[in-house]
């Protein structure tokens, strides 16, 4: 348990930041799930729109420190290739 005033304050700040990051991560996962569902349903137009909405959310997560840049780029790349393959089929 935190003993000094500074460590108590840092514990409070960490708790707040954790809650914010958790909400942000959940929001991003929701956008990703919409893309996954559109791909699973076979709807290329809907999947492309969902990907277009999910991409800025993922990158915003990078700027906010929730995801690493390469992780977000990898996720976007893999989803984009799946959407592209769906559009060709």
Q: What is the DSSP string of 11-53?
A: HHHHHHHHHHHHHHHHHHHHHHHHHHHHHHHT-HHHHHHHHHH
To the nearest whole number, what is the mean pLDDT of the chain? 96
Count CB neighbours of 22 within 10 A.
11
CATH number at residue 13: 1.20.58.110
How many domains does the chain divide into? 1
Contacts for 9-18 with beta carbons within 8 Å, 24 or more apart? none
Q: pLDDT for 60-73, tens place per residue?
A: 999 999 999 999 99
What is the domain extent for residue 27? 5-88
Residue 1 pLDDT more than 90?
A: no
């Amino acid at each position: 348990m935190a003993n000094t005033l500074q460590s108590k304050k840092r514990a409070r700040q960490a708790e707040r930041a954790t809650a914010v990051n958790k909400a942000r991560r959940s929001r991003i996962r929701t956008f990703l799930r919409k893309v996954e569902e559109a791909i699973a349903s076979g709807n290329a137009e809907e999947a492309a729109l969902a990907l277009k909405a999910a991409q800025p959310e993922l990158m915003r997560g990078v700027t906010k420190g929730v995801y690493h840049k390469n992780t977000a780029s990898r996720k976007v790349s893999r989803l984009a290739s799946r959407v592209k393959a769906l559009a060709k089929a």
